[in-house]
């Protein structure tokens, strides 16, 4: 008993040590990056609609009362509205009492990324990965994808995606602990950052349904048991609907349809005709090398998403292995279906993101990719995954610098 208690104590210390070392390394990388970018860590990015929205709420107004031409604002009934879901503004609201309009949003988005890595580390350790493996894979998860570039800037788009990734990683951890109400609520909060995160509810429902079935409950009873856990998520969804109705008279309208970019578009914001081009770009459009050995990548509408976000490659390999070994159970199918559905919904959008490194929208599905990989048991990186992770981090560090120094 004594030796077992000692082993547990040493393991807890080791877990803490690796997590602190991982976070310290991330902090050092961000400090060095922001130094190269001009000392911007505590600066305010002017592309911050959420702080403006929080300040408008403090004045008792949904609208901003004036145009900010450099922002993506919805124009409706003579006023200008933030055209994004409201949750990041709720985070900014208490901070505005400290910082006002000079919000250090670059720092905020960095903290989102570091918190996401800490949560991923907790998920990996809970699944049985060794602490050193969990630390490496958490860095792969956050810094080896487009989040690396996004987490250096507090712009409105990046805040939304960074907070979405944070909430969905927390959702995964809650689900692993079988805490269904927090898991559903965290997924609902993520919808307030990125609406297509609603796709996460499909595998969540499948998972908790499977938990109840394994406990001996009937199919009907297992479905009914989801309702109490879904109540907080329903209340959060109801709040979003009220907010949309109060602003635009439509419970499903966050404001994007009133952006001039889309009101002038012949086919609107979403249309099936956008699918072929967007899919071609993110599946087939490569990064090229010119005659001088310089990389050239398109920074509008995406390029190979599995090169910019290589964590999808282990997902593909495991999915193929599960199909061949006939391990493709209901939960795995639901995770893959949710990832594919969200990808198709994103590709039905008029654009696939502008002024970006890679296919940054696909970061939104990475928490589901991590969940799938963890279904296979403790994730101890294989040799190719170690190389892939190092490539991913190096490539996305390059992207964070390239978007500032080469493409401004």
Three-class DSSP labels, 287-319: CEECCCCCEECCCECCCCHHHHCCCHHHHHHHH
Which ranges of the chain have pLDDT less than 50?
none
**Predicted pLDDT at 2:** 56
Q: Output the CA torsion 151→152→153→159 (10° steps).
A: 10
**Predicted pLDDT at 197:** 98
**Predicted pLDDT at 68:** 95
d(CA 302, CA 370): 22
CA distances from 406 to 98, 157, 305 (A): 35, 21, 21
Residue among 174, 181, 175, 110 at smallest CA distance from 147: 110
Q: Identify the H or E element spanning 57.
A: helix 49-58
3-state secondary structure of 40: coil
**Predicted pLDDT at 12:** 87
Tokens of 328: 């493709």
Q: What is the DSSP secondary structure assignment for residue 370, as one 8-state letter? A: H
d(CA 199, CA 341): 7
Taking the model in full, what pTM does it have?
0.96
Residues linked to residue 349 through DSSP beta bridges, in sequence order: 270
Q: Which residues are CB-neighbours of 205 under 8 A, at least 6 positions away?
A: 226, 334
């Amino acid at each position: 008993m004594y030796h077992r208690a000692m082993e547990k104590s040493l393991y807890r210390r080791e877990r803490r040590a690796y997590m602190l070392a991982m976070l310290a390394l991330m902090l050092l990388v961000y400090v060095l990056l922001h130094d190269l970018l001009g000392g911007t860590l505590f600066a305010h990015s002017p592309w911050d609609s959420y702080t403006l929205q929080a300040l408008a709420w403090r004045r008792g107004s949904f609208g901003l009362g004036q145009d900010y031409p450099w922002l993506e604002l919805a124009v409706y009934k003579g006023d200008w509205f933030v055209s994004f879901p409201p949750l990041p503004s709720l985070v900014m609201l208490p901070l505005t009492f400290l910082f006002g309009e000079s919000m250090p949003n670059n720092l905020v988005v960095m903290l989102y990324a570091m918190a996401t890595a800490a949560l991923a580390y907790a998920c990996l350790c809970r699944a049985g990965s060794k602490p050193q493996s969990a630390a490496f894979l958490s860095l792969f998860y956050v810094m080896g994808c487009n989040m690396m570039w996004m987490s250096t800037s507090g712009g409105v788009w990046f805040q939304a995606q960074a907070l979405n990734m944070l909430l969905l990683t927390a959702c995964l951890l809650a689900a692993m602990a079988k805490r269904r109400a927090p898991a559903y609520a965290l997924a609902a909060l993520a919808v307030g950052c990125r609406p297509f995160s609603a796709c996460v509810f499909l595998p969540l429902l499948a998972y908790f349904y499977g938990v109840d079935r394994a406990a001996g409950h009937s199919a009907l009873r297992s479905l009914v048991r989801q309702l109490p856990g879904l109540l907080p998520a329903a209340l959060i969804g109801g709040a979003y609907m009220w907010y949309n109705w109060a602003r635009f008279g439509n419970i499903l309208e966050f404001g994007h349809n009133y952006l001039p970019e889309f009101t002038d578009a012949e086919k609107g914001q979403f249309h099936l005709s956008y699918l072929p081009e967007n899919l071609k770009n993110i599946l087939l459009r490569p990064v090229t090398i010119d005659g001088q050995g310089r990389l050239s990548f398109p920074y509008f509408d995406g390029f190979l998403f599995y090169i910019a976000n290589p964590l999808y490659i282990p997902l593909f390999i495991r999915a193929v292995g599960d199909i061949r070994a006939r391990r493709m159970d209901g939960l795995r199918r639901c995770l893959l279906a949710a990832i594919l559905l969200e990808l198709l919904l994103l590709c039905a959008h008029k654009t696939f993101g502008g002024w970006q490194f890679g296919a940054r929208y696909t970061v939104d599905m990475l928490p589901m990719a991590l969940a799938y990989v963890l279904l296979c048991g403790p994730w101890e990186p294989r040799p190719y995954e170690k190389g892939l992770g190092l490539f991913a981090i190096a490539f996305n560090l390059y992207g964070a610098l390239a978007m500032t120094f080469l493409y401004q």
